[in-house]
Amino acid sequence: MMTVFFYIFVVMKLYLYFILSFCSALIYAQQEVKIQGAYFPLHDTDNIYCFTCKTTADTLSLPFIDDFSYYSIIPDTSLWKSSSAHVNLGYGINPPSFGVVTFNGCNRKGIPYSATSAYGSADTLLSKPINLSTFTPSDNIYLSFFYQPQGLGDAPELKDSLIVEFKNSSNQWKLQWVKKGSSLATGQGFRFVALPITDTQFLYKGFQFRFRNFASLHGDFDHWHIDYVYLNNNRNAQDSIINDVSVQYPITQHSFSPYSNLSLKEYQTRQKIDSTTFYFRNLSNNTILPLCPGRRISRYGTPIYTEVPPCLPTGLSPMSTDKQSLTPFLNYSLDSLTKPSTFKETFFLNQTTPDFIPANDSLQISREVSDYISYDDGSAESGYGISGPNQGNYAFAYKYQLNAADSIKAVRIGFSRHWGIDNSTLAFKIRIWSSLTPEVLLYETPFSLFPDYSKTWIEYTLKGITNNDTTIAIPANGIVYVGIKQTSGIPLGIASDMNTNVNKNPADYRFWVNLTGTWEHSTWQGAIFLRTVMKSGPSVTSVPSKPLYPNRMNVTLFPNPTQNILYINVENSMKPFLFSIFDLSGKMVHSGMSMSYQPVNLPNLLNGMYIVQVIHNQEKTQIPLVVSQP
C-alpha cells in the first residue's frame, strides 16, 4: 500500500518560489511523498511590499479591523506595525473571507529562523499603537479573531502554540490567550475567539496587541492561520456576527478548463473562457437582499465581458454559503499571436445592503495566454516527490490533450529544496510520451539535468544529442504526456498547488505516475509546478532559462576530451574547491577536493560523456567532460 508523507510549504501568491525541508528518515517502499518542512526564501526581485495599503497616523482609533483580503503577502501597513507572518489566499480551509495571515517556522521572506532543528518563538504580527485612553471598562472593548491550525499546511504539535499578548501602559507584554497545537479535524472550520479588554492598564493611548507562535524554527512547520481580526467597543464575548458578505476562494474550476493558463495557439482554437462557479458567504445574521453575483473579464485593463445572472431570488440567508454558476465567454479572438495576453477575471457581489468590508466583495484572478500550458494556479501550498529503494525506475507525467497542432520546445519547473540535503546534485531527465500504456517514448533528454533553486521557474530547453535545441511535434487533437524520470530514489521536490486537484475527474486523469514499472493514475490531490512551453508562443524574457551546463564561475576543464588526468581551473581563484563527476545516468563516479592548475587523477572511466560539478564559495556549476581512452 502506498504511504503518503507530508511535504508542506509556505504559500505565496503570484510568482514566488519554493524550497522545501526534507525531514523524513529512510523510506523503504516506493511511494509518492509529501515531506514535512517546507521553506521558501524570497529573492530581491520579488515584490514583498504592500503598494495598496494606506498610510495612517502613528496612533489608530477604533474600530480596528483586518480580514486580509488583499493581494500582498505583507499585512496592511496602515494597521500593523510589523509582521513576520505572511498573507496568502491558499493555506486556510474555508476561512470566513478570502485571504488569511499564516504563522510558521519561517520569517516573512520565507527563511527559516534556524539552520538547525531548534524550537522557540517564531512569527509575530504586531499592531500599530491604538488610542484606548477615552474608554472605560464598561465600554465593553473586545478583540476578536478566527483561527485555524494546520489548514493545508503542517499540523502544529502539542508543544507548539499560538498566543495573544497585550502591551500595558508600563510597556510590558501580558499574555492573554494561548492555544496548544493540534491537527485539523475533518470538516473543522475556523474557530472564533473574543478577548475582553477591561483592565485599566490597557486603556491608554498607545495600546498594542500582538499574535505570536512557538514552533520548530528550521522550516515551514506548525501552521496557524488567522482571519478577521476585529477590535471595537460595545461588543460581547459571543459577538461573532459580522455584517459582511464575502467572495470565497478558491474558484472551483479554471476558466481554461482543465488548464490554468494556455498557449496562444491553443487559445485560438478555443476562443473562449469557460463556464465556472464561485462561492460566497453571508457572515451576518440578516438576509442579504438583493444580492447579484457576477463576473467581469478584462484584457489590458479594458473590460471585454460582463455577466450578471439574475439576482438570487430570496437573497442570501444569514450565516450561509451559496454559489453562482457562470456561462462561457465565447468567440473572443486575440488580435496578436506575437505577445502574451493576460485576462483578469473579477468575481463580484452587487448589493445595496451596507457592508462591513467592501474589499472582500470581489476577487480577482489572472489567466495568462502566453507561451506555455499549465495546471497549477501559481500558488504553492505543498511539494511533491517520489521516494523509494530503486535507482532510476520512477517517473511521473502530466497528460495534455491539445486542440492545436504545435511543438514542445521546453519545460518549466518550480523546484523545492529539502532541508538538510542538497538536492541540486540529484540528476533527472525530461521525457515526453505519446502513450503510457503501451509506453511510446517520443523524447528523452540525452544528458542528465539537475534542479536549480535560484529562481521561481527554471526553464529546460529540449536538447538533442549534440546539445542542439530541438522540438517535439504534437498533432492537432493529439494527446501527449510530459514529465520527469528520476535517476535516484530520493525525491526531487516539485512545488505543488494544493487548491487544484488535476485528478478529480475519474474519467480523465491528468497526472500519472510509474512506481513499479506500470503506469497508473496518481493519488496526489494537487497540481505540481511543471509547465509545458510551446514553440508557437511568444518570446517571454522574464522566465529564466536553464542552460544544460550552467557555468556561472567560469570553470574550465583541460584537456577535454581527456584520458586519465584532468585539470579543473576556477578563474581568478587559488582556493580549494569540491568537485564531483557524474555519468549520464546521474551516478557519481569520482569526487574530491582540488585547486586550479592541480592535476586530478581520474579512475578508469569508460569512454563517453560525463558531468563535472564544481562547488566553490557557495556557488555550484556543471560542465560537460568527454573521456576518450585509446
The DSSP code sequence of 206-251 is: EEEEEEEEEEESSSB-S-EEEEEEEEESS--TT----S-EEE-SS-
pLDDT for 585: 67
Q: Rounded to whole angstroms, how far apart are CA atoms 502 and 500?
A: 6
Q: Torsions phi, psi of 529, nearest 5? A: -85, 75
Q: Helix (H, G, I), strand (E, B), or coil: what is residue 269?
A: helix
Return the higher-pLDDT residue of 427 and 609. 427
The pLDDT of residue 303 is above 80: yes
Residue 396 lies in a domain: yes
Task: Name the residue among 51, 90, 92 with its Cα closest to residue 72.
Answer: 51
Sequential DSSP letters for 189-200: -PEEEEEE---G
Q: pLDDT tens across 400-411, in order?
A: 999 999 999 999
Note if the pTM is more than 0.85: no
The average confidence (pLDDT) of the chain is 84
CB 48 within 8 A of CB 75: no
**In angstroms, rounded to a whole number, what is the distance separating the alpha carbons of residues 78 and 53?**
6
464-470: average pLDDT: 86
Helices (H) and strands (E) in the chain, counts: 1, 47
Whether 452 and 529 map to the same domain: the answer is yes
Res. 558 pLDDT band, cuts 50 70 90: confident
- Asked if residue 266 and residue 223 are part of one domain, the reply reads no
Among the ranges given (244-253, 416-425, 464-473), the one the predictor scored with the smallest mean pLDDT: 416-425
Instruction: Flag whether 507 is in a domain.
Output: yes
Strand-pair category, 262-263 with 362-370 = parallel
Q: Is 293 exposed, middle or buried (CB count within 10 Å of its CB: 0-12, 13-18, 19+)?
A: buried
Measuring CA to CA, how many Å separate 244 from each of 96, 282, 284, 321, 510?
Answer: 10, 6, 6, 12, 38
Q: What is the pLDDT of residue 69?
A: 93
Average pLDDT of span 464-473? 89
- 28 located within any domain: no
pLDDT of residue 431: 97
Tell whether 488 is covered by a domain.
Answer: yes
d(CA 40, CA 107): 10
pLDDT at 298 over 50: yes
Q: pLDDT, tens digit, for every residue of 171-214?
A: 999 999 999 999 998 778 899 999 999 999 999 999 999 999 99
Residue 396 is part of a domain; what is its CATH number?
2.60.120
pLDDT reported for residue 618? 67
Q: What is the CB neighbour count within 10 angstroms for residue 158? A: 8
Same domain, 179 and 325: no
Task: Provide the pLDDT confidence category of residue 336 given band limits of 50, 70 and 90.
Answer: low
More confident position, 151 or 454? 151
Asked if residue 540 has pLDDT above 80, the reply is no
**29 within 8 A of 388, measured Cβ to Cβ:** yes
Task: Give the separation between CA 410 and CA 534, rounded to whole angstroms.
Answer: 7
Instruction: Report the pLDDT value the prediction gives residue 51, as an integer from 0 to 100.
Output: 39
Residue 100 is predicted with a pLDDT of 96
| 236/252 same-domain check | no
N-term to C-term CA, the chain: 51
Which residue type sits at 233?
N
In terms of average pLDDT, the best of 160-164, 360-364, 378-382, 579-583 is 160-164
What CATH number does the domain containing 158 carry?
Answer: 2.60.120.260
The C-alpha atoms of residue 526 and residue 530 are separated, in whole angstroms, by 12
Which has more pLDDT, 315 or 18?
A: 315
Q: Identify whether 12 is part of a domain.
A: no
* Local confidence band at 608 (pLDDT 50, 70, 90 cut-offs): confident
Looking at the fold, whether 214 and 256 belong to one and the same domain comes out as: no
Number of domains in the chain: 4
Same-domain status, 468 and 591: no
Last residue of a domain, one of 187, 220, 240: 240
Residues 222 and 158 in one domain: yes
Predicted local confidence at residue 352, as pLDDT: 79
Q: What pLDDT digit, counting tens, does each position of 30-82 carry?
A: 677 664 444 444 433 333 344 344 545 569 999 999 999 988 888 999 999 99
Cα-Cα-Cα-Cα torsion 52, 54, 58, 64, nearest 10 degrees, comes to -100
| Tens digit of each residue's pLDDT (9 = 90 or more) over 351-365 | 877 788 988 999 999
Give residue 576's pLDDT.
84
Nearest to 209 by CA among 163, 170, 240, 178: 163
pLDDT digits (tens, 9 = 90+) for 493-530: 888 898 999 999 999 999 999 998 999 999 999 999 99
Specify whether 445 is located in the same domain as 429: yes
Q: How far apart are CA 2 and CA 58, in angstroms?
A: 56
In a domain, 39, yes or no: no
Assign 3-class secondary structure to 456-509.
CCEEEECECCCCCECCEEECCCEEEEEEEEECCCCCCCEEEECCCCCCCCCCCC
Query: Rounded distance, CA 570 to CA 279, Å?
Result: 58
What is the sign, positive or negative, of the torsion defined by CA atoms of 215, 221, 222, 227?
positive
pLDDT of 15 higher than 50: no
97 and 140 part of one domain: yes
Which amino acid, one-letter code, is at 173?
A: W
Examine the fold and report which residue of 189, 217, 240 is the final residue of a domain before the chain moves on: 240
Do 491 and 423 share a domain, yes or no?
yes
Q: Are residues 168 and 279 in the same domain?
A: no
> What integer is the mean pLDDT of 7-12?
29
Q: Indicate whether 35 belongs to any domain.
A: no
Under the banding of pLDDT at 50, 70 and 90, the label for residue 545 is: very low
Per-residue HEC secondary structure of 597-612 comes to CCEEECCCCCCEEEEE
Strands (E), 320-394: 321-326, 329-330, 341-351, 362-370, 372-373, 382-387
Length of the chain: 630
Residue 621 is part of a domain; what is its CATH number? 2.60.40.3080
Within-domain flag for 591: yes
Q: Is the pLDDT of residue 144 over 80?
A: yes
Structural domain containing residue 322:
247-370
Is the pLDDT confidence value at 330 over 80? yes
CATH code of the domain containing 258? 2.60.40.10
Whether residues 134 and 191 fall in one domain? yes
In the chain, % of residues over pLDDT 70: 86
